[in-house]
Each structure stands twice: as C-alpha cells, then as structure tokens.
Chains A and B, each alone.
Chain A
Amino acid sequence: MVAENSTPHLHSAVEPKQTFRRALDMAARAAMPSLFIMFSAILLSAPFGIPGQAQLQFGIAMCTVWFWAYSRPRSMPALAVFLCGLVVEIFSFGPPGTVLLSLLVIYGVSHHWRYGLSRLGFIAGWLIFSILVVLASFFQWALVCLHAVALLSPIPGLFQAALTIGIYPSLTALFVWGRRTFANPDQA
C-alpha cells in the first residue's frame, strides 16, 4: 500500500462541497510540516539559553523532512524542503548551505525509497535515518574545517547527530498522530 494514500478515498457523492474555506483548511493542513520546521527554526534562534538549541534546529528539520517525505510526500514537496532549508539557514550561523543541502539529500533518499520505507519497520527506518544524519553531520564538520583551515574537534557534530537520532522517535509519535488529525488534508 502506498503511504500517501493511507486515507481511503471517499466517494465523490459523499465528499464535502469544495468551498474556499475548505481549500484554505486543506492547504494549511498540508503545509503543517513545513510550517513546523520554520516555526521551530525561528523559535530556537531566540536566546533561551537552552543547551543544544542550535543542534535542535538541525535535528527537527531533518526528522520532519525524513518522516513526511516518505509518509505523505504531498505535504512535503521538494520546493517546500528548499524553502524550509533557506529559513533554517537564515536563522542559524553555521557554514552556509550545509543544512539546506543535507535536507535536500535526505528528502531525495526518503522520497525515492518511500515505498520500501513504508514497508520497513520503524527500527530499520530509524537506522537508515541515523546513518544519513551521521553523514550529514560529518559533511557539516568537514566544511567547517575547510572554512577554518584547521582540524576542529568532531565532538559537536557527533552531539548534533546523537541529538537528532535521539529526538526522532518522539517526533515520529507526534507526526503519526498529526498525520491522522491536524495535518491530514482529507479531514478538512
């Protein structure tokens, strides 16, 4: 079964009438994952002084794009990933372009393997996600070293990867609930 058709298609005779309000509601529900990334990026750029705030920006964006790209690709098109990546880039001060490129690559993998990933169990999907996150963090670290023309400690990158991998299960639980309820355009 294709994941994006998880909601059974209703018969046209019993479908609600398409009004402007309903179209708006559907668009808002479909845009919910992208809005979640943008809102988190802006919120986490405020000076709360929470440890690992910058790493969380990256982590939330990666988890959200990975989940929605295979679970409901209509809610996470490539252009939306690009816009979200740009927002995260603007509200962070890492080496430019790395988060954006990582998001697009993880989107490409997740979207391309969406049928396979839908059939795989949670643990296997999490494992693949973890490998990609470690690679993305390594890429970011390599670029920072290139910027600084020095071999920096990879510990911050590993911490970022560990945090991203660690928050994935909790975010997945939220997204699975959201896919059925507030982020489901079919329920508009």
Chain B
Amino acid sequence: MLSIHARQVLAKAVLPILILLAVGLVLLGLVRRPAVDGVRLMATDFMAPAYHGLVWPQERAKVWLTDLRGATDLAKENARLRDENRALRHWYDVAVALAAENGRLKKSLHWIPETVPQYVTGRVTRDDGGPYSRAVLLDVGSGHDVRIGDVALDAAGLLGRVTEVGPHTVRVLMINDDASRIPVTLGSSHSDAIMAGDDTASPCLIFYPQDHHPVEGERVETRGQSTMPAGLPVGTVHYSAPNRPVVVPDADLDRLDIVRVFDYGDDDSHAPDAPGRVRVKKLPQNPLTGPLPFSWLPNLPDMPGRGGQ
C-alpha cells in the first residue's frame, strides 16, 4: 500500500504524464500519420454495421417525406415525369445511333478495345472530413480489391480518389479537399489544367494556358494520367469571380449515398526505347590514376597539360 505522500505525488504527476503522452501522439501524427489513420479505419470497420443501424431511421424518414411530397402533387409530378420520359426517349434514340456509328468507326479503324475497369459499389459509412478536410468512408465489404489511387464516382461524375484502404472500408479524398489535385481537360478549348480543391463546394482551376482561358459553361473531364483514365465527367466551368474559374462538380458532393470505386489498373503504357539512343558508358575520370597494366615501365615525370600541378 502506498503512503499518503506517495499517493499525493502520484496524483500530481498523472496529468503531466498524460499531457506528455498526448504530445507524443501529436508528434506521431506528424511523422507517421498513416499508422494513426489505420487505427481510425479499423475502428470505422468495426462500427460500420452500427452506423447503418443509426442512420436507418433517418433514411426511412427521408423516403417517407419524398413519398409524401409526391403524393400531395400527383398530377403535376405525372406531367413532369411524362415530359422527362419523352426527352429521355429522344436521347435514348440519339445514344443508340451514336453507339452504332461509334462501333462502325472503331471497326474501320481497327480500334484496340480498352480494358473494362473492375469496380465495387459501396455505401457511404460516414462523412470523414472534419473541419479542415473533405473525405468520406465507404463500406465496400470484405474481399474487395480496391487499391490506393482508385477512382470514385457517383451516378453523375467524379467524386475523388481512394487514399486509405481497410479490410471492409476505404477512405475517399473528395475533389474539393484542400489536398486534392486532379489533372483535367477542358471540353471545348481542349486545353489542360489542374483542378485544385480548396475546401469549398467548387474546386478551382489552376495552371491552364494563359492564351486559352477556360470558357464559362464548358465541360471538364479527367485527363488520362497514371491510374486516372481520360474522359471521366467532372463538371462544368464557372467564373465565381473575374479570373477565377472554378468547376461546378456533376457529382453531388453534399449528399452522397451509393458510390462506385473503379480500378483502372496501372498505366503500363511505357514508351519503348527510342532507336539510336544508346546509353553511353561513363569513362573513368582519369584513366591513368589506377595502376598501369605494364608495371615494368619506369615512373614517368608529370607532363605539362596533364594536370596534377
């Protein structure tokens, strides 16, 4: 049993020790952030079923509210749906005709078919942003093959890229996060740019050519680079202020539910060695510094112009 004095000393030492441990955790976070995030991901994996249970009443309430809104204005809703259906039929016909034409053109050009990407679909387990970042956690189930760098899309467009992978859960860094940089191509001007997240709803465009400024309303697509394929829909250009083009994302970044994660594989299209370019073997700096093969020769005096003076 400890004496009263020892207990008093121990009681006074507890808080400084705990503060030191907390400082240690801060330092660990600075130097080994993935280790800490791995623990957090494990906790989320463990809690994923509970999260589904927690948000289930909210989801049901949303469904009921939507049904209720539809039921109160059935005639107007039916008219809107009829119009939408008519427009969709028209676009369906256009799409079928374009697909057939595209197929014919590809056949005549002997087009090499692109690989079909693998994908998994997951539900957003939780918004994982915090005050300074924009990220979501997806529950993709066990046995998935998601890798860091894979591309996440919702029904409308690009959402972000996978940054951490757990046994059941993956973390997707959204395109509007401050750390996100996505190479993009602008639809009509065909110039390249970088879409940089800035923690707002609309990421901004940077590094675009100064003689080809982005045009208001033009489409923004991904530019093929590494595991990021070309042509994924991202959004449209909008000028929030003069000389400040931003991208209004197609994806609904605020209300995410079902998300697909695509694995486009590694980019193994390495350029072949150019003919005629042969690696030149480097000659030794001074070939005469080593022992000479004909050691029977007498030592030569230093000659002018050979260095060594």
Contacts and interface: CB of A to CB of B under 8 A. Distances in A.
Contacts of B18: 78-79, 81-82, 104
The main secondary structure of chain A at its interface with chain B is helix
Interface residues of B, number: 44
Contact of A49 (B15, B21, B255): B255
B55 A48 contact: yes
Contacts of A62: none
B154 interface: no
A96 B127 contact: no
A46 B126 CA distance: 5
Question: Taking each of B23, B37, B126, B128, which has the highest tally of chain A beta carbons within 10 Å of its own beta carbon?
Answer: B126
A60 to B, nearest CB: 15
B51 interface: yes
25 contacts: A43-B54, A47-B125, A48-B54, A49-B127, A54-B127, A54-B131, A55-B131, A82-B22, A89-B40, A91-B43, A93-B129, A96-B28, A96-B33, A97-B28, A97-B29, A100-B25, A101-B23, A105-B19, A107-B15, A108-B15, A108-B19, A140-B131, A148-B178, A150-B178, A157-B131
Interface of B: 14-15, 18-19, 21-30, 33, 36-37, 39-40, 43-44, 47, 50-51, 54-55, 58, 124-133, 135-136, 178-179, 199, 254-255
Interface of A: 42-43, 45-49, 53-55, 78-79, 81-82, 85, 89-98, 100-101, 104-105, 107-108, 111, 140-141, 143-144, 146-148, 150, 152-153, 156-157, 159-160
Given A78-B15, A147-B30, A152-B199, 17 more contacts: A45-B126, A46-B50, A47-B51, A47-B55, A53-B127, A55-B131, A79-B14, A82-B18, A90-B39, A94-B130, A96-B26, A97-B22, A101-B22, A101-B23, A104-B22, A108-B19, A144-B132
